Amino acid sequence: MAATIVEMELGGRTLRMETGRLARQADGAVLVQLGETVVLGTCVRGPAREGGDFFPLTVDYREKLSAAGKFPGGFIKREGRPSNKETLTMRNIDRPLRPLFPKGFYDEVQVQCWVLASDTQNESDVLAGIAAAAALSISSLPFQGPTATVRVARIEGKFVIMPTIAEMEYSDLDLVLSGRKDGLNMIEVGAHELPEADVLAAIAFGFDHIKRIVGMIEQLVAKVGKEKVADLKLPSEDIVKEVRAKLGGPLRAAKTIEGTKLQRQEAVSQAIKTFMASFCPEPGETASYAQVIKHQAKVADVKLAVMDLEEQITREVIRAGKRTDGRSMDQLRSIECEVAVLPRVHGSAVFQRGETQALVTATLGTGKDEQIVDGLREEYAEKFYLHYNFPPFAVGECKKIMGPGRREIGHGKLAEKAIQPVLPDVSEFPYTIRLVSDILESNGSSSMASACGGTLALMDAGVPIKAAVAGISIGLVSADQPGQQEIYLTDIQGEEDHFGDMDFKVTGTRNGITAIQLDLKIQGLNLEQIKQTFELAKKNRLQIIDMIEATIPQPRAAISRYAPRMLTTHIHPDKIGKLIGPGGKTIRGLEELTGAKIEIEDDGTVFVSAVGVGKAERALEEIEKLCAELKVGAIYTGKVVSIKDFGAFIELAPGSEGLCHISELADSFVNKVTDVVKMGQQVKVKVILVDDQGRVKLSIKQAGAEAANKDSSVS
């Protein structure tokens, strides 16, 4: 089992690729290692699906918990459905690979990436992107790579390639970048309001390292690469000419009718249906088997030609100077913003842009509502998360209703990253925040509508965000023939995303970028194209922020009366056990008494929450009484909880009691304790001693004398 190995230095560590030892029956298999994190990438192909007219590429990425010496949580001790991180990584691997297969290639392709070892410091997601590209590059599949994937951080103003997880804690940028030597074809960014120039510089920095890694994969290909094999399904030239001649006019007319997206779709569908009925009539009942097969082959050929023609006409219409919905190239669709659209919810908003509509709701919760995340790293909690839903009715379709898929998870995460940097610090606003974006209507850019609607909903909920966030998607129609100019499209709609060359989403505030996601159908963008996109996106972003702030200029001064009120205090960590009580008795008693929920951090921070500020304030008062350091000489109000022959035990706070000896009950001689106090009576007491064991001695007599002295001095 001889292995072929190539290595290079990357970020002060050794990046290692190996093939030929593991998974040898795969068409391509490569082990990639950085530090002590190891990822296996494999690819295989299967036959094209019968009648298929699209490229069925499946990318799967899994983090085996044994890689980090961990057991899966829960009752069933094996990995199950992919986590959100695994799903997002699958998308990040898929997006740069898919455009690099030739047109007409419809074989089924599966790419699988497994994390086999993790040092919990070197991230496995970008290594999986490298492993997948390397496996495809050495395989027989007609992959037009190689590509490479890197992560870039910015720490104290300096860019860092392939940062460790510890280093990312200090970074104001998380940039994942993929591309070939001649251009970039996938960008994913989370940033803390960074200026466009800084993000562009980070992309240039990452691109330099991508070229080095691509060169390393080329070394591997030179040693073990297989001959590329592809059976492309392309329509014949004769069919293409006939389809263009007979369908071109009706299809162009249908694409440019005035009306809604659904009306244009219906017109296009009807034009194609009419054409197919005349150009490919169904064979009669007496047709032979050979005639039926010939007809089916012709229909498949014609459908491919029709798809190509629709794409060409859409691009030609744009090049003629007017988009199919009548807008100019740099024109936003009409925008409407509305807040407080739903009763009872903590915050709500509708953001409408053209025929895309997002209903976003904000819910405020406590620490118990945090999202627990478990994976290769140590378990942690998220206090902010955004869920995105895309029902079939949003595009007027009837489809199977299922749980969130890769698209829903990816779009939700993008909108979440867009808003995260403007949220208040936990010390200022300790709530857990959940946003839900329900897409009720869609014609492109629904993730950007979610970011804009999320901003509105947070402000309506009274969350003191630092700035308004808006997002826009920029499209591109590149040159199809020599001499043509590339055209940038502001605020792309669905068909411009489908038939155009890119969907470049950028979100941010007035100060800078918070998130980016680039999906590309061409092989790559250069830095000048990215710069031009940034400039256009910023101009549009500022326009949208103006509209958001015209609707609600700033967050509401108070949160909804239906939201829990959260108050905080801090107790000495030594008092945590006292607050909890034996078996949780004390804290449960306080919650039952006040109606509030109490949560305690290890450092002694206590969060008190209740619907109704009065309940929270009462619970906070009781906690502070219970955990306060009793001062000798101070006077407190307490309740008699036990009477003995030698004195009375008086509760100063739940779990905190002191003894008032019979000699300290009154100035005169006391025969029986019950002559002075009764069970449950509220009395004023003075702390006269706290001994080494924490026992407290009290005096009603001295508290009364002190009060009398104050009265006499006042008179």
**Residue 397 shares a structural domain with residue 415:** yes
- Exposed / middle / buried, residue 227 (Cβ in 10 Å: 0-12, 13-18, 19+): exposed
The predicted model gives 217-229 an average pLDDT of: 96
The structure tokens listed for 450 are: 């979610």
**Residue 176 shares a structural domain with residue 250:** no
**Please, where are the H alpha helices in 509-567?**
527-551
- Contacts of 197 by beta carbon, 8 Å cutoff, 6+ apart: none
Give the integer Cα–Cα distance in Å for 19 and 3: 6
**Residue 274 shares a structural domain with residue 413:** no
The confidence score (pLDDT) of residue 632 equals 87
Distances (CA, A) of 62 to 24, 111, 359: 20, 11, 33
**Residue 193 shares a structural domain with residue 256:** no
- Asked whether the predicted pLDDT for residue 75 surpasses 90, the reply is no
- Asked whether the predicted pLDDT for residue 282 surpasses 90, the reply is no
Q: Write phi, then psi, for 256 (nearest 5 degrees).
A: -115, 15
**Residue 315 shares a structural domain with residue 349:** no
- Asked whether the predicted pLDDT for residue 660 surpasses 90, the reply is yes
Give the integer Cα–Cα distance in Å for 359 and 338: 10
Q: CATH code at 571?
A: 3.30.1370.10
Tokens 């007979």 sit on residue: 246
* Beta strand segments in 662-709, E: 682-690, 696-699
Q: How confident is the model at residue 392 (pLDDT cuts 50, 70, 90)?
A: very high
- Asked whether the predicted pLDDT for residue 337 surpasses 60, the reply is yes
Distances (CA, A) of 231 to 56, 228, 301: 14, 10, 15
Give the integer Cα–Cα distance in Å for 375 and 91: 18
**Residue 475 shares a structural domain with residue 432:** yes
Q: Is residue 195 part of a domain?
A: yes
Q: Is residue 533 part of a domain?
A: yes
pLDDT in tens, 566-613: 888 888 888 888 888 888 888 898 888 888 889 898 888 888 888 877
The confidence score (pLDDT) of residue 572 equals 84
Containing 244, the helix (H) or strand (E) segment is helix 237-255
- Asked whether the predicted pLDDT for residue 654 surpasses 70, the reply is no
Q: Is residue 354 part of a domain?
A: yes
**Residue 486 shares a structural domain with residue 345:** yes
Give the integer Cα–Cα distance in Å for 141 and 684: 87
Give the integer Cα–Cα distance in Å for 651 and 630: 12
Domain final residue, candidates 597, 628, 659: 628
In the three-class reduction of DSSP (H, G, I as helix; E, B as strand; rest coil), residue 156 is classed as coil
- Asked whether the predicted pLDDT for residue 715 surpasses 60, the reply is no
- Contacts of 76 by beta carbon, 8 Å cutoff, 6+ apart: none
**Residue 609 shares a structural domain with residue 714:** no
The predicted model gives 84-111 an average pLDDT of: 95
The predicted model gives 647-669 an average pLDDT of: 88
- Asked whether the predicted pLDDT for residue 630 surpasses 80, the reply is no
Q: How confident is the model at residue 1 (pLDDT cuts 50, 70, 90)?
A: low
The confidence score (pLDDT) of residue 85 equals 94
Instruction: Give 367's DSSP letter.
Output: G
Domain final residue, candidates 224, 256, 273: 224
The structure tokens listed for 314 are: 């859409």
The predicted model gives 504-522 an average pLDDT of: 96
Q: Is residue 55 part of a domain?
A: yes
Beta-sheet pairing, 656-661 with 647-653: antiparallel
**Residue 510 shares a structural domain with residue 621:** no
562: nearest Cα among 361, 279, 333: 361
**Residue 670 shares a structural domain with residue 654:** yes
Tokens 């019968």 sit on residue: 50
User: Which range among 139-148, 254-263, 543-552 shows the weakest confidence by mean pLDDT?
Assistant: 254-263
Q: How confident is the model at residue 199 (pLDDT cuts 50, 70, 90)?
A: very high
Q: Which residues of 483-500 are buried (b: 16+ CB within 10 A; e: fewer)?
A: eeeebbbbbbbbbbbebb
The structural domain count of the chain equals 5
Give the integer Cα–Cα distance in Å for 210 and 265: 41
The predicted model gives 35-39 an average pLDDT of: 97
The confidence score (pLDDT) of residue 53 equals 77
- Asked whether the predicted pLDDT for residue 714 surpasses 60, the reply is no
The confidence score (pLDDT) of residue 437 equals 97
Q: Is residue 130 part of a domain?
A: yes
**Residue 607 shares a structural domain with residue 634:** no
Is the dihedral angle over the CA atoms 127, 133, 135, 137 positive or is it negative? negative
- Asked whether the predicted pLDDT for residue 707 surpasses 80, the reply is no
Average pLDDT, the chain: 92
Q: How confident is the model at residue 411 (pLDDT cuts 50, 70, 90)?
A: very high
Q: Is residue 327 part of a domain?
A: no
Q: How confident is the model at residue 711 (pLDDT cuts 50, 70, 90)?
A: low
Q: Is residue 324 part of a domain?
A: no
Cα-Cα-Cα-Cα torsion 200, 203, 205, 210, nearest 10 degrees, comes to -160
Domain final residue, candidates 551, 574, 592: 551
Q: CATH code at 219?
A: 3.30.230.70
Q: CATH code at 711?
A: 2.40.50.140
The predicted model gives 385-413 an average pLDDT of: 93
Percent of the chain scoring above 90 in pLDDT: 68
**Residue 618 shares a structural domain with residue 667:** no
**Residues spanned by the domain of 251:** 237-319
Give the integer Cα–Cα distance in Å for 31 and 539: 44
The confidence score (pLDDT) of residue 655 equals 64
Interior angle at CA 514, CA 407 and CA 418, nearest 5: 40
Q: Write phi, then psi, for 558 (nearest 5 degrees).
A: -135, 150
Q: Is residue 558 part of a domain?
A: no
Percent of the chain scoring above 70 in pLDDT: 99
Q: What is the pTM of this model?
A: 0.85
